[in-house]
Amino acid sequence: MKELFLLAIVAMVFVVIFQIAKASEYVSVLKGEEKTRKQNNKINGFMLIAFLVLGLIGVYVCNEWYFNKTLFPQGSASVEGEKIDFMLYLTIGVTGLVFVITQILLFWFAYKYQEKDGRKAYFFPHDNKLELLWTTVPAIFLTVLVVFGLINWFKMTGEPPANAITVEITGHQFAWEMRYPGKDGILGKKKYTNYNKPSGNTLGVDFEDVNSLDDIHTQEMHLPVGVPVKLVIGAQDVIHDVGLVHFRMKMDAVPGIPTTLWFTPKYTTEEMKVRTGNPNFTYEISCDQMCGQGHFSMRGIIVVETPEKYKQWLASQKPEYYTLFPDKAPKDPNAAPATTDTAKALASVLPAKK
């Protein structure tokens, strides 16, 4: 209701302004061009000041109404995301201060120095000091902001801490798929020619690589809280973008060119339900790059849990090799495939090379 009431007020203001403008046109016919122009200047000057005051009030009111509906009150859900929030607040602070100062000066000067009898405008074509001032000062501030961004960018896309876990995430129209390394801690290789060979190998995993035999393929990402996670990101068809809004992270998923980033989750999913006041809260993976008609539906789920629960979940997962080759699965479903006689095992399940 407040929004509708505000829109009604704005509409009425525009109607009043329109009527005043039409009335001014009729008055100009009766009073003459010169006198009418001076009168219109006074009206325009007053309206500029009114617009300035109402505009600044509107900015403040909108911030009061909508700030709590943004993600800022929740805070970043990752340690590294806090630096992103700091950079954003710094940018908003600097640009916001400049915006307020310049807008006040702009509208005040338009009002104060309007046309008056006996006043003559002072014209000067060039001023080196002013040119140097408004070129150098913004350049310095922008350079500082860019340097902050580059430092954080190189850190978050560089090598993670030694205790980081690795998760591969692959995008395709229109879903995300995850792959975890098994007990060897190494992700096996992939080959695009292996797609759906054998049937169900949707990630194109190369099972001739021994490191692939214990890899885990899931549709949902699980992460331990407080432990750095390195994402190895790829795509199978068009460019996608891994958007992790709660963690303040995003990275393009490019076909044929793996990209990486890392972050450290701060809160479990259960803790975020309390922080947000939403019992149905879930961490989401969005696609932040337009990728086709089903782009809006490309959504993944992240479950952040305690390290103990994460280990239990990981131990309950079955290597994809056993799913695709069930006859090779041992009696213990959690056992890693034997690698001592890998060549013989592979020869019996994979087609011979021509």
pLDDT digits over 77-100, tens only? 999 999 999 999 999 999 999 999
Average of per-residue pLDDT values in the chain: 87
pTM, entire model = 0.76
3-class DSSP assignment, residue 239? coil
Amino acid at 250: K
Contacts of 48 (CB under 8 A, 6+ apart): 107, 110, 111
Give the span between the Cα atoms of 234 and 260, in whole angstroms: 9
| Backbone torsion region of residue 12, taken as left when φ is above 0, otherwise alpha when ψ lies between -120 and 50, otherwise beta | alpha
| pLDDT confidence bin for 33, thresholds 50/70/90 | low
How confident is the model over 20-31, as a mean pLDDT? 66
pLDDT at 175 over 70: yes
N residues, the chain: 354
The confidence score (pLDDT) of residue 113 equals 84
Lowest mean pLDDT among 110-114, 233-237, 346-350: 346-350
Give the span between the Cα atoms of 300 and 174, in whole angstroms: 10
Tokens standing for residue 126: 């060039």
Bridge pairing between strands 259-263 and 229-235: antiparallel
The confidence score (pLDDT) of residue 7 equals 78
Nearest CA to 214 out of 109, 83, 334 is that of: 334
Q: Tens of pLDDT along 1-13?
A: 667 777 788 788 8
Q: Give all strands of the β-sheet with 165-172 in edge-to-edge order.
A: 216-218, 175-180, 165-172, 229-235, 259-263
How confident is the model over 206-220, as a mean pLDDT? 94
CA torsion sign for 87, 92, 98, 101 is negative
